[in-house]
Amino acid sequence: MKNKAKKILFLLLLTCTSCSSLYKFAIDIQNPAAVTLPVSAQNVLILNNSVTQPQDFGNEIAYGKQSDTAKYRLSLDTMAWVAINEIAACLNESNFFKTIAIYHKPLRTDSDWLSKTVFLSPELRAEFYNTENYDALFVINRLLLSVHEDIDGWQPGASSFDPLVYVDIKAFGLLTGSMYVYGKEKPLTTFTVSDSLVVRYMDIGDSIIVFKEIPEYSLQELSRSLGNQAAQRFTPTWKTEERALFRGYNARMQEATGYAANHQWANAESIWTTELGKKTKPVDKAKVAFNLAVANEMQDKLDSAYVWVQKAKEYLTNVNQDSNSQEIDITNKYISNLEKRIQNNRLLDLQWGKE
* Direct distance between the N- and C-terminal alpha carbons of the chain, in angstroms, rounded to an integer: 11
Quick: pLDDT tens for 238-295.
Answer: 999 999 999 988 999 999 999 999 999 999 999 999 999 999 999 999 999 999 999 9
Residue 2 included in any domain: no
Region 15-31 average pLDDT = 74
- End of a domain among 235, 270, 299? 235
- End of a domain among 235, 261, 293? 235
Residues 63 and 151 sit within 8 Å (Cβ to Cβ): yes
Continuous H helices in 69-130: 79-93, 122-130
Q: Are residues 344 and 216 in the same domain?
A: no
For residue 269, the number of C-alpha atoms closer than 13 Å in the C-beta half-sphere is 16
Residue 64 included in any domain: yes
Residue 138 included in any domain: yes
Q: Are residues 48 and 155 in the same domain?
A: yes
Q: Are residues 226 and 127 in the same domain?
A: yes
Residue 155 included in any domain: yes
pLDDT the model gives residue 23: 86
Q: Are residues 260 and 282 in the same domain?
A: yes
pLDDT the model gives residue 141: 95
Residue 37 included in any domain: no
Q: Which residue has the higher pLDDT, 16 or 7?
A: 7
Residue 214 host element (H or E): helix 214-232
Residue 14 included in any domain: yes
Quick: pLDDT tens for 98-118.
Answer: 999 999 999 988 888 888 767
Quick: pLDDT tens for 144-173.
Answer: 999 988 887 655 555 554 567 788 899 999
- End of a domain among 197, 214, 235? 235
Residue 1 included in any domain: no
Domain CATH for 258:
1.25.40.10
Q: Are residues 309 and 217 in the same domain?
A: no
Residues 280 and 247 sit within 8 Å (Cβ to Cβ): no
Q: Are residues 216 and 318 in the same domain?
A: no
pTM (two decimals)? 0.83
Q: Which of 338, 332, 290, 355 shows the shortest CA–CA distance to 8?
A: 338
Quick: pLDDT tens for 27-84.
Answer: 999 999 999 999 999 999 999 999 999 877 777 776 655 555 555 678 889 999 999 9
- β-pairing, 59-63 with 136-152? parallel
Q: Are residues 182 and 54 in the same domain?
A: yes
Q: Are residues 250 and 216 in the same domain?
A: no
Q: Are residues 150 and 251 in the same domain?
A: no
Q: Are residues 103 and 121 in the same domain?
A: yes
Residue 15 included in any domain: yes
Q: Are residues 127 and 264 in the same domain?
A: no
Domain containing residue 257: 8-32+239-352
| Averaged pLDDT of the chain | 87
Could you give the number of structural domains in the chain? 2
Give residues with Cβ within 8 angstroms of 152, minimum separation 6. 63, 64, 165, 166, 167, 168
Q: Are residues 318 and 198 in the same domain?
A: no
